[in-house]
Structure 1
């Protein structure tokens, strides 16, 4: 079955490339943020053939500091080349540009209100708006993406330096905003180790779903920024020795031969490889507790076709290819009514994996979110 499926993907991929139906693209979207009272720009990468793959949904990677396009471009470029990843992602770049008219910069977004004289002297007026910024991400950016793109529930936040500090701050303030955190060289020491202390004393029972936290460092704290090392050592020790929560997986990586900036590529590669190998499959298996009744119809190519549906949960047959036979409602239509959990992933067969049917608008599993509507219609691709 796997070999046949792989061949189908390759054939379909090159067929669509030759016919130039669509390409990967990056869109620039402007949002007038009520939360920030500013106009902001986000970047949205959609994978190749996103427009054709209308019956597939995608997890989302949110990349902070994307006014520096290197972070955004590297992330959406590298994902497809890493091992153990069989999926495509939507990548969203969240920008924090300097706004000259109001003298507002990225540190305003990433730093909360500061308390110590030393921090106030160091960062000055470029701080204090992290609370509003996390609200902007929660109430405006993520809802926009979920409303306008076919998204799944497992998102990833990627940040570097104070961007990494911010995504850990968001974990503290809104523990279920993201499911995965890739914090590359975060500053844990600002404002008298404020962030490191809050991470240690956070009530991690507030995290509802399986969550992955990745933290890395370069050579910070050795030759420069000496205060960074003791702050991160305390956090590392807590995560390694004290945190006991079955919902949380923590991976720590150190790159002492890299400097603060050039640690981004190896850290991101390492984090995503760990995620693909150890986290993704488990998170993908998470389903909603609630079941939704839906009607699923499929248009077939032959009048006599007997069609089965099989998928990722008991009511879909748990990937048994001949358990759920669909009802014939016309010569070329088959239908089934089921109560299923979200997100539902499934395929159609004629009773075995050797007779798996390819659905128009997907290379992989059909994916639906049954909470969105009650009826879904599909069409079997005709071999040419």
Structure 2
């Protein structure tokens, strides 16, 4: 519990930089750090304006790639949004694909996504599903370079909505993450949907991952839900549950666990020791997830540098040539090729590579240091 509180505290302290509040001294119009931007969407389905929080991968503007989209419910909880955005950036360097994060603010509280208490009316959560399908997802697809792979993430009451969406519209998202979901609401209706609803006839691959803590009082509820799922799920559906110990409601480590499970073999470093193996592996992942997944720059850079260390400069050159064809904006890869040229004794060519990296990023310190070495 102390670790969880510390993580939340750290993220809360950093919130003054999350949405570009501070300005740099040398440029009053430039934010120091940005983890997201505020937007909104006028919804006819919900008859109100929905605030959105959006975080794009670091190299989104300079790349030509498409990106899977992760939709987060309750992004008005800014500490949580900061954690998710930072985690995607950190893990996107080689552990998972880079992703677009779309946060749906719920200023009325995430209980808005539950059925009504009196008569268990599901009109509001049904309307939110309709909003996702007919308004929000098309809006995001029209305004960003999105890949055809979508994930829905919710915690507590929004975790209930994540499960509810799966049972009503399993095709809407490819993967569903539910942290400490409030499955005590309409349990009979949920079980009936598992047994006879659209999930029963699902042919495409879909997945649900539930994470909760043993100190929440959810063990029996989740266990019963799991029993029904296991008895009635189609073969195309995968289901995973993790019960943590003494981690509290909506555990802070849930998001990292979700991503590592979804992309469990994204980067098996011990096996990717040649360029052919790297290309074949990510071709396989592309077929599995249904969109092109390119080898991360970090994987290609490390492989090339291993060849440099082993003095196999011909292979290193081939790796970086391929890499720069895939990532012509990859400043780190130009440094790698520059080191190859330097070790080949081609100092002028090495200089050109380092200068190219600095053209992409004039403040790239690694390229500056290597450029000084070849200029001596």
Q: Partner of 1:96 in structure 2?
A: 106
What RMSD in Å do the two structures reach over aligned CA positions? 3.4
Q: Partner of 2:78 in structure 1?
A: 69
**Equivalent of 2:118, from 120, 140, 148?**
120
Q: Partner of 1:29 in structure 2?
A: 39
**Which deviations, in whole Å up to 9, do the C-alpha atoms of 1:141-193 show, x marking residues without a partner?**
11111101111011111100110110111112211110011101111111354
Q: Partner of 1:276 in structure 2?
A: 263
**Equivalent of 1:219, from 201, 214, 218?**
214
Q: Partner of 1:249 in structure 2?
A: 238
Is 1:358 matched up with 2:358?
no
Determine if contact 2:170/2:198 at 8 Å carries over to the other structure. Answer: no
| Distance across 2 between alignment mates of 1:49 and 1:23 | 15
Q: Partner of 1:58 in structure 2?
A: 67
Change over 3 Å in CA distance of 1:151–1:193 after alignment to 2: same
Matches within 5 A, 1:107-256: 107-108=111-112, 110-112=113-115, 114=116, 119-120=117-118, 128-219=123-214, 222=217, 228-239=218-229, 241-243=230-232, 245-256=234-245
How many residues align? The count is: 265
Determine if contact 2:150/2:174 at 8 Å carries over to the other structure. Answer: yes
Is 1:260 matched up with 2:249?
yes
| Distance across 1 between alignment mates of 2:285 and 2:204 | 8
| Distance across 1 between alignment mates of 2:35 and 2:221 | 40
Greater relative contact order structure (CA < 8 Å, 6+ sep): 1
Structure 1, unpaired ranges of 5+: 1-19, 99-104, 223-227, 290-310, 313-351, 365-381
Would you tell me which structure has more strand in proportion to its own residues? 1
Could you say what secondary structure the match of 2:97 adopts? coil
Would you tell me which structure has more helix in proportion to its own residues? 2
Which deviates the most, 277-286 or 68-77?
277-286
Change over 3 Å in CA distance of 1:191–1:211 after alignment to 2: closer
Provide the TM-score with structure 2 as the length reference.
Answer: 0.61
Structure 2, unpaired ranges of 5+: 1-29, 268-281, 294-317, 332-351, 357-376
